[in-house]
Amino acid sequence: MDTTLQDPLVGQVLDGRYRVDARIAAGGMATVYRALDTRLDRVLALKVMHPTLAVDGSFVERFIREAKSVARLDHPNVVQVFDQGTDGSYVYLAMEYVAGCTLRDVLRERGAVQPRAALDILEPVLAALGAAHRAGFVHRDMKPENVLIGDDGRVKVADFGLVRSVDTVTSTTGAVLGTVSYLAPEQIEQGTTDPRVDVYACGVVLHEMLTGEKPHSGDSPAQVLYKHLHEDVPPPSALVPGLPYALDELVASATARNPDVRPHDAVALLGQVREARRALTEEQLDALPPQALTAEHDNAEDRTSVIPRSLTVPRPLPAHEELPAGGGVQHTSRLQAPPVPPVPSRRPRRLVLTVVAAVLAVFGVGAGIWYINSGQFTKVPPLLSKTEAQAKDRLRAAGLDVGQVERAYNDTVKRGTIISTDPAPGARIRDHDSVTLTVSLGPETVNVPDLAGQPLAEAQARLKADGLEPGMVTREFSEDIPRGSVIATTPQAGTRRHAGSAIALTVSKGSPIDVPDVTGKDLDEARQKLTDAGLKVKVAPERVHSDQDKGKVAAQSPDDGTRAAEGDTVTLTLSKGPEMIEVPDVVGSSVDDATERLEARGFEVDEDRGLLGLFGDTVKKQSVEGGDKAPKGSTITITIR
């Protein structure tokens, strides 16, 4: 029996208007249903907030904000919001129904796509984001799960207006690891969200489309976040040799760690994408990625009979299908073959037939047909939300074996019931093959411990022992907390967070010290003065010319008056004395010529005219004779008669 039949909303009419026909997907914040607008007689997607969250004003506000934000974006590549309302404990959005798949579905099955297909997908995404950016909105959560590809090949962007909380971003579930993979450095470090964070995410998505791999990976979200902050996104050609340099440049521009170097919004990046496309040859655009080359074989044992079908019939996801990453919800139908967006009219459509054929070959279907079971294969039965015992019974009844049973924490799936299967429900599988089950342990949350006053290493060990991850470390001066010990955590002690969440630590630099001025002093005297202040001393290997006498301190870093912590190092640069410059002979020259020549050599010039030289213009004498040397910057007096 389909699990949609167990959903209390299926079959009901919300607000006297929307008849709920089937559940499409379920996420941490809402469930999406396929519904019929009985007034306008049209199919749409109904996103309904979980009743347990509807009592939280902040969640409802966020939900309604999404509706208002997207409703103002009238763009063909944005999933439209038609209506927003409440019915008892249900808060809902009525949205455009997109029968198709997500870009994540394509990448999961295909790995990488051809450059032409990647650009054909990226361009409408940037057009949608560009409209949002020019309207004053930032998406904040661009990723393949939020790129929908319809049956007709149109590309649409979903889940505008969402604002992610810190604990959502740092959760250790695989789904959220997908989310942190697209965060810009300034989002992580400062919480900054302007259009350039969407530009960065689109650059990461382009890298993933071209290579089939996320640019940064790690065993924990903290590792991924660290790489975003400290490592550049590698060029796609490093993973797929032969990719054109223009695509490497495009990814590098969009994913620059310094936001000031990136295109300022999606419209600017779209211009760069079109320039890159024009720079590529047809062969470069249609080059197959390495994975596709092995996907075009013909296995006789996999052949099955085919029957025609209409491409206009809505094909909803199984009601038990789980949502993609990030807590948002999608409303696409899983395709047998994710379509590649149509090529714009400026290029012949036949140029992308190889792209479509390659993707369809991987999914094992052709245009306008679907495969039926030939007898050697069966499908994984719907098992989500079933108990472990029920799931095992269903697998055996379907002629399949129970494989490994894994267990994982989950905030929305009841303890003891199935979170996911591998292969997924509905997937085609050989008779008697095994299916891996993942069983929910229920939600897991942890109290952030009080670490104030603990040394950093001990605090980090305590976090790991409590099931949390040490996050970013910032340092501040403190009069009360010893140097190297924790001042506070973010979030603060006592807050409950999901296990594996990263906890930021603020560590004491100790009491501040005003760096004394030691320029012009002997090295020994300068060293003693700085040491007495609690600072360390380093002497620069190179000496410099300066106004200070030879061997004296010419410069220090940091400068005097700067606040430093106990144990910080001050670097001293010693003087070689002033630079000695040969003085030109200007006797007999005019005043202007003499002044120009002396100043060109780095000297100051002083005129001595006396009574006899008031109206003269010829240099009769100079204080340092021509050919002798004088310190650079010193004053040469010229006597005029």
| Residues annotated catalytic, as ranges | 141
Count Cβ atoms below 10 Å from residue 369 Cβ, excluding itself.
Answer: 15
| Residue pair 399/380 in contact by the 8 Å Cβ criterion | no
| Residue pair 77/115 in contact by the 8 Å Cβ criterion | no
Count Cβ atoms below 10 Å from residue 87 Cβ, excluding itself.
Answer: 16
What are the CA-CA distances from residue 507 to residues 167, 211, 466, 488, 569 (Å)? Answer: 21, 40, 20, 7, 19
What are the CA-CA distances from residue 198 to residues 340, 347, 548 (Å)? Answer: 22, 28, 53
In the chain, what is the straight-line distance between the N-terminal and C-terminal CA atoms, in Å?
Answer: 115
Count Cβ atoms below 10 Å from residue 100 Cβ, excluding itself.
Answer: 24
Strand order in the sheet with 469-476: 469-476, 502-508, 486-490
| Residue pair 101/360 in contact by the 8 Å Cβ criterion | no
Retrieve residue 252's tokens: 């590098």
Residue of 547, 548, 546, 528 whose CA lies nearest to 536? 528
Residue 523, helix vs strand vs coil: helix
Count Cβ atoms below 10 Å from residue 571 Cβ, excluding itself.
Answer: 13
Retrieve residue 633's tokens: 């910057």
**What does the DSSP assignment read for 264-304?**
SSHHHHHHHHHHHHHHS-HHHHTPPPHHHHTS----GGG--
Helix or strand holding residue 68 (H, E): helix 57-71
Residue of 111, 181, 102 whose CA lies nearest to 144? 102
